[in-house]
Structure formats: structure tokens, C-alpha cells
Amino acid sequence: MSLFAGIDIGGGSIKGILTDPKGNVMHETREPTDSQFSNDGFIAAVKKVAANLLAKGKAEAIGIGSPGPLDVDQGLVLHSTNLPNLKNTPLVKSIRDEFNIPVYLNNDANCAALGEYYFGGNTGVNSLVALTLGTGLGGGWVYQGKLFSGMNGNAMEAGHLTIVKDGALCGCGKKGCAESYFSAVGLMNRYFDKTGKKPDNVKELFDLCRDNNTDAREVLFFGADILAELIKNIIHLINPDKVVMVGGITASYDLFGPYVENRVKELVFPVFAEKVTVAMGNNVAGAYGAAALAIQEEK
């Protein structure tokens, strides 16, 4: 069976797997991420991960998932919040020239959607949307087995749909985006607006909710309402069969997930309430999503 390499660029490490299309993993490896990586140092680390994988078997292609902003078409990491010394890093060309196999790059939200599709038990789903609920709010759409990548990988910027006209200021500079209400940063900022206190991290906010703190719960459920409206908007536009939520925040899915699922059913047209599944995803690891990118490109 054909093998594919998947490499996930993370803040702590660069992780790689060598897998067949069913997710039978032949080899796993990782290299530490150095926040001071230069372009060359970064490329060398990714090459090392790839070399380790390819030493264990012949891969058809390599998929790489990375935080943006990227130029997917040109295969560049334009810059990176976690790796401030990177600039227009020619990642795809460097790896392709070294190993002489196809190399594909896409952002981590798109790879997450592909991971949920191929390795999260969703290959039977004709149209799957994954929403990544983490520091920010992202999304990816797998339609008929292929990533809908949009313009240079920019499709499904779900966090930057306006839900509250003239609402809270978003990190993108505009007002009322979904991300400014339901993401780690958004939830903490809204809690600050309400109380003047900023939690150290979003887990602290969820802990307050579990302790029935009124302010924390109001912020969370207002955010959950926004998330439900966002999912309604996505459903009304592109009619996915299934929407899954993944990412760090889903560790607290029990607090908000069932509420969001029910609220979406109330908001959408009856045909969608009946036919569209909204659920927590499997939080398939990023390297699997990156491998899935290679798999779907080579199909």
C-alpha cells in the first residue's frame, strides 16, 4: 500500500509520521522547535524530520501543515508568530529539491479538516466542515474527499465572519467577528470587558464556569450563541453534511458543546436541523492531517 509522510509544524516541536491511507503508521519522529529558527535552521529541522520518515519507507508525497500566514500556491511560510525570524521561507521547494517527491503545504486548520475526514472516521461524509477552536477560530472544508482550499488556502476563515455588527474588536482589526467571542483569546477578552480581570489562560475561565461563576458563564454562553450563529451561517451557505469542532477548547466541550448543538438545530431551516450533524470531532493529531493533505493531493 502507498505510504505518505505528514509533518506538523507546532510551537513546541515539528512532528512527523509515515502512514498508509488507512492510518497505519509505520514511523513517527519529532524535532524540537527553536523559537529563534532562521529560515535555514527551520528548513534544516523539517528536512531532518522528513529524512527520518523517508528512511523507513518510500513515500508518494509529503504533506506539511503549518500555522499561517502561508503562500500555499508558492509553498512559502510568509511569517510566523511563534518563529519571528522566519520570512518568506521557501519550505516546499527546499524539501522537494532534497527528496524529489511532491510536497504540499497548507494551513493547520485546513489540515485539521483533512485529518478529521481521512482519519477521524468521516470518509463517508460527502461534505465535512471542521472548526478549530483554539487560540483563534479557524476552519476547513472537505468536499467530496478534497480540501476546498479557496484562494491560496484562504477558504473557510470561519473566525472572521461578522456575527455581531459593530461588536467587539477582533484581532483582525474588524468588529464583531466570531473569533472575538469564541476562541481562547476572544473569551478571555470578553471576560476582561465584563470584569476588568484577565484570566491567565482559557482553562481558568472554564474552571470558573464549572464553579458556577456568573460572569464567566455569561461570557461563555454568549460566545456559544455566537458559535451557533456562525455554524448556522456556514450551514445556510454551503450545506455541509457534518460540522465537527476540534482544537484545545474542546477539552471543555461538555460545558458548551451540547448547548451549541441544540442551538444550531433551533437556528437553521428545518431541512438542515434534520440532516446536518453537528458534533465534537476526534481531534486527530496535526501530522495525520498533514499526511491527509498529501493523500488527497495525490488522489
How many angstroms separate the CA atoms of 49 and 171, rounded?
A: 33
DSSP structural state of residue 37? -
Nearest alpha-carbon partner for 283 in 136, 116, 168, 170: 116
Q: Which of these ranges, 57-65, 184-192, 196-204, 224-232, lies near its own copies under the rule CB under 8 A?
A: 224-232
Q: Which helix (H) or strand (E) holds 74?
A: none
How many Cα atoms occupy the beta-carbon half-sphere of 223 within 13 Å?
31
Instruction: Report, in Å, the least distance between residue 160 CB and its own copies.
Output: 5
Q: From residue 182, give the alpha-carbon distance in Å to each of 166, 171, 189, 197, 210.
A: 16, 12, 10, 18, 17
User: Which pairs with CB-CB distance under 8 Å and at least 24 residues apart come from 120-124?
Assistant: 120/244, 120/281, 120/282, 120/284, 121/282, 122/242, 122/244
**Can residue 146 be called a binding residue for its own copies (CB under 8 A)?**
no
Given candidates 83, 101, 226, 243, which one binds its own copies under the rule CB under 8 A? 226
Give 105 or 158: the residue with its C-beta nearer to its own copies.
158
100-108, 145-153, 213-221, 243-251 -> range binding its own copies (CB under 8 A): 145-153
CB of 20 to its own copies, least distance (A): 31
Query: Which range in 43-51, 100-108, 151-159, 208-216 contacts its own copies by CB under 8 A?
Result: 151-159
User: In whole angstroms, what is the distance from residue 248 CA to residue 283 CA?
Assistant: 9
Among 23, 167, 171, 248, the residue binding its own copies under the rule CB under 8 A is 167
Q: Which of 161, 187, 220, 244 binds its own copies (CB under 8 A)?
A: 161
150 is an interface residue for its own copies by CB under 8 A: yes
- 273-278: long-range pairs with CB below 8 Å, 24+: 275/241, 276/235, 276/239, 276/240, 276/241, 276/242, 276/243, 277/241, 277/242, 277/243, 278/231, 278/242, 278/243, 278/244, 278/245
Contacts to its own copies from residues 40-59, by CB under 8 A: none
Query: Contact between 169 and its own copies (CB under 8 A)?
Result: no
Exactly one of 13, 154, 195, 213 binds its own copies (CB under 8 A); that residue is: 154
**Min separation Cβ 8 and its own copies, Å:** 24
Q: Kindly state whether residue 234 participates in binding its own copies, applying the rule CB under 8 A.
A: yes
CA–CA–CA angle 41, 149, 237 (5° rounding): 145
The residue among 44, 13, 41 whose CA lies nearest residue 29 is 13
Does 237 interact with its own copies (rule: CB under 8 A)?
yes
Is 137 near its own copies (CB under 8 A)?
no
155 belongs to the binding site for its own copies (CB under 8 A): yes
Q: Is 172 in the site for its own copies (CB under 8 A)?
A: yes
Q: How far is the CB of 132 from its own copies (least distance, A)?
A: 15
State which residue, 8 or 157, has the beta carbon closest to its own copies: 157
Task: Return d(Cα 154, Cα 34) in angstroms, integer.
Answer: 27
Question: Cα Rg for the chain, rounded, in angstroms?
Answer: 19
C-alpha to C-alpha distance for 97 and 77, rounded to whole angstroms: 17
Shortest distance (Å) from residue 279 CB to its own copies: 18
Nearer to its own copies, 3 or 158 (CB): 158
Residue closer to its own copies by CB (options 62, 111) is 111
Which residues of this chain interact with its own copies, rule CB under 8 A? 148, 150-152, 154-158, 160-165, 167, 172, 174, 176, 225-226, 229, 232-234, 236-239, 241, 267, 269, 271-272, 275
